[in-house]
Amino acid sequence: QTRVLTGITTSGTPHLGNYVGAIRPAVASSLRADVEAFYFLADYHALIKVQDPARVQRSTLEIAATWLACGLAPEQVWFYRQSDVPEIAELNWLLTCVAGKGVLNRAHAYKASVDKNREAGEDDDAGISAGLFMYPVLMAADILLFNAHKVPVGRDQIQHIEMARDFAQRFNHLYGGAGNEHFVLPEAVIEEQVATLPGLDGRKMSKSYDNTIPLFCPRPELKKLIYSIVTDSLAPGQAKDADASNVFQLYQAFADASETASMRQAFADGIAWGEAKEALFERIDAEIAPLREKYESLMARPEEIEAILRDGAARLRDTLAAPRLAGLREAVGLRPLS
């Protein structure tokens, strides 16, 4: 069985991009017999960006309910909240001690923040937490604790998987004798057919940009948000470039090949923006409506979600996390915990 791991940061309300890019493909692949699936709510990661405890808690509940509403079967996969598994945080430290600082200096997320500071004429590291700097190590711990083989990610995350491989190799080299490899080297899986959805403002749809269409917002709000997507001002009857259009990109992510081909033709024929948006709204709502109902019913029973998460983490710790960490502690020369 191949171990596949997917996490979503609990930094806000899950959106169409999370659904298309992570949840829909992950739930589909979890049904395959050759996959052992790990799904987690990345709440340690959320703390890097969000210092609002209520937001982190609400987001955790929303993302858990979303996974469940979208068909994840918690008894058939590993489904857990990251912070319920303290072994991850401990491995984070073991890896921190083998991770090269120079490697972390090159991480995109950190470099982007430094660049922003430079543009603003600030000190390089102004306002940048050590958490943001160390984020690739925590991500490596998420993956390596369970020896996940495959990690489906967007292109922007490939570098972090390479870093996880680097830290794993270093650890194996320092602490593994011949034939005693502690860590499997994980591979990034880029699903070429999975699009990166644009947000309302045309940038990547992202919880941190506040430009999202929440996956399960009520129908009237979904309609309103879709109508607010930024377009150019070409009039009805004027040919429109489907590939340059956010509306088309969203449509494509929800439509099958023949619907997409008809829409492409309609763009060439000069469909009015209002009509294109109406078609987009109807298409998305048709897929989402049944899931939205399940989501709302789950959100009305938060204690049930909580129980599922606790059970998931307890089972994971007993079966995998604790024994695994015990071996790693021993490898580096720490005493056994019990």
Name the nearest CA neighbour of 189 among 161, 165, 169: 161
The residue among 306, 283, 170 whose CA lies nearest residue 226 is: 283
Number of other residues whose CB lies within 10 A of the CB of residue 333? 7
Q: Find the length of the chain.
A: 338
Q: Nearest distance from residue 318's CB to ligand ATP, in Å?
A: 27
For the bound state, the minimum distance from the C-beta of residue 40 to ligand ATP, rounded and expressed in Å, comes to 11
Residues of span 140-199 touching ligand ATP by CB under 6 A: 153-154, 196-197
Helices (H), 97-236: 101-105, 108-119, 130-144, 158-175, 219-227
* Selected binder of ligand ATP within 207, 283, 317, 324 (CB under 6 A): 207
CB nearer ligand ATP, residue 159 or residue 196: 196
Question: Nearest approach, Cβ of 21 to ligand ATP (angstroms)?
Answer: 2
256 annotated among ligand-binding-site residues: no
Of the residues 4, 5, 8, 288, which one makes contact with ligand ATP according to CB under 6 A? 8
Least distance between ligand ATP and beta carbon 255 (Å): 16
Phi, psi torsion values for 120, nearest 5 degrees: -85, 0
Tell me the site size for ligand ATP, rule CB under 6 A.
18
**Shortest Å, Cβ 228 to ligand ATP:** 17
Q: Which of 3, 5, 21, 279 binds ligand ATP (CB under 6 A)?
A: 21
From residue 216 to residue 255, the character string flagging contacts with ligand ATP as x (rule: CB under 6 A) and all else as - is ----------------------------------------
Q: Is residue 146 within 8 Å of 320, Cβ to Cβ?
A: yes
Cβ at position 203, least distance to ligand ATP in Å:
9
Distance CA 144, CA 112 (A): 26
Residue that has been written with the tokens 């709000």 in this structure = 221
**DSSP per residue, 262-309:** HHHHHHHTT--HHHHHHHHHHHHHHHHHHHHHHHHHHHT-HHHHHHHH
Which residue stretch of 115-123, 130-138, 181-189, 203-211 sits at the interface with ligand ATP (rule: CB under 6 A)?
A: 203-211
Could you say whether residue 20 binds ligand ATP (CB under 6 A)?
A: yes
Which residue's CB is nearer to ligand ATP, number 172 or number 245? Answer: 245
Per CB under 6 A, 136 contacts ligand ATP: no
Angle between helices 273-299 and 219-227 (to 10 degrees): 150
Residue nearer to ligand ATP on the CB measure, 173 or 203:
203
Reading across the β-sheet that carries 2-9, which strands appear in turn? 78-81, 35-42, 2-9, 150-152, 187-189
> Among residues 181, 275, 287, which one has the least CA distance to residue 226?
275
Stretch that binds ligand ATP, among 100-108, 204-212, 309-317, 321-329 (CB under 6 A): 204-212
170 is in an annotated binding site: no
* 60 annotated to bind ligand: no
Nearer to ligand ATP, 112 or 334 (CB): 112
Cβ contacts of residue 171 below 8 Å, gap of 6+? 94, 95, 98, 182, 183
Q: What is residue 36's DSSP assignment?
A: E
Smallest gap from residue 208 Cβ to ligand ATP (A):
3
The annotation places the binding site for L-tryptophan at: 142
Site residues (vs ligand ATP, CB under 6 A): 8-9, 11, 17-18, 20-22, 49, 153-154, 196-197, 204-208
The annotation places the binding site at: 9-11, 17-18, 142, 154-156, 197, 204-208
